[in-house]
Amino acid sequence: MARRAPRRPTCSSLAAAHQALRVLEVVHRHTGGVRLTQIARETGLGQLHLNQALQRLARAQLVAPLSPDVYTAGSALELAAADRDRMGELRDTLAYLRDAVGAAVYVASYTEGEVSITQYADGPRTPVVHEWVDFREAAHASAVGKALLAQLGPDERRDHLSRYRMEQFTPHTITNPEVLFDELDDRWPGQPLLDLQEYTLGTVCAAVPIGTGTDPQCVALSLPSPNPDRLQQAARVLRDEAVAVVLALLVAGDELRGATPCRR
């Protein structure tokens, strides 16, 4: 069981988030605005990555253009600096992502050995998955759980499965630890983890690791339809937009503790 150490995910979303943070640091230092050439000089980013980072930051309202080649701090960054409504950015980001993927979206973490859904955004047309078995007991059968377990080492995985048995919830549930660990490890960095009706029949899910601190984290979606094409399309959008969630989580910071889930 878990004979080799997992390939810790070097998710492209995390790399993009780090690039965006480097840009954000430069913009934050230049309170009166800073030119693109200066941002490029201080960050060392090429034109393509710099433009992508600025687009993400502008959409998150963390930077704002003063002119086509000059940027300053955006409204969300000003609110964060003033310590006001940092959760608002996360709520808006999750609502945007929910609409972009056409599904309920979730942020989850693995804290003190437990799976926890910390935030979510749903709606009348994008319902959350029915939690008929506690998510803490179903990590092996859920995309959220898989994305979190993928960020753990062999001993931590074994410890988790010693506390929560791999019960079979549907005919599709993986109950063999070796098969599960192979699925977690044999994938390219940033590839979404999938739940193909393993937790509940009729529902499929996808999750992307987005660890931003000491605890593993992920962003996920659920679709009340087993359509594989729709899931693959939604999972691609989730992967590409996960960086926005990373940035929003960083802005929210300590206000996440004790916050109520985002729902719209």
Answer whether 223's CB lies under 8 Å from 230's CB. yes
When the pLDDT of each residue in the chain is averaged and rounded to a whole number, the result is 85
Per-residue model confidence (pLDDT) at position 74: 84
Work out the average pLDDT over 223-237. 93
Indicate yes or no: pTM above 0.85: no
> Where is average pLDDT lowest: 10-24, 41-55, 125-139?
10-24
Per-residue model confidence (pLDDT) at position 81: 53
What is the number of other CB atoms lying within 10 angstroms of the CB of residue 8? 14
Per-residue model confidence (pLDDT) at position 258: 42
Most confident of 10-19, 63-72, 198-207, 233-242: 198-207
Work out the average pLDDT over 32-47. 92
Per-residue model confidence (pLDDT) at position 1: 43
Answer whether 94's CB lies under 8 Å from 110's CB. no
For residues 90 and 12, the model is more confident at: 90
Answer whether 52's CB lies under 8 Å from 86's CB. no
Q: What is the pLDDT of residues 74-91, one digit of tens each?
A: 876 665 555 545 667 788
Residue 4 has pLDDT above 70, yes or no: no
**Centroid of chain to Cα 160:** 21
> Where is average pLDDT lowest: 16-30, 56-70, 143-157, 180-194?
16-30
Work out the average pLDDT over 174-200. 93
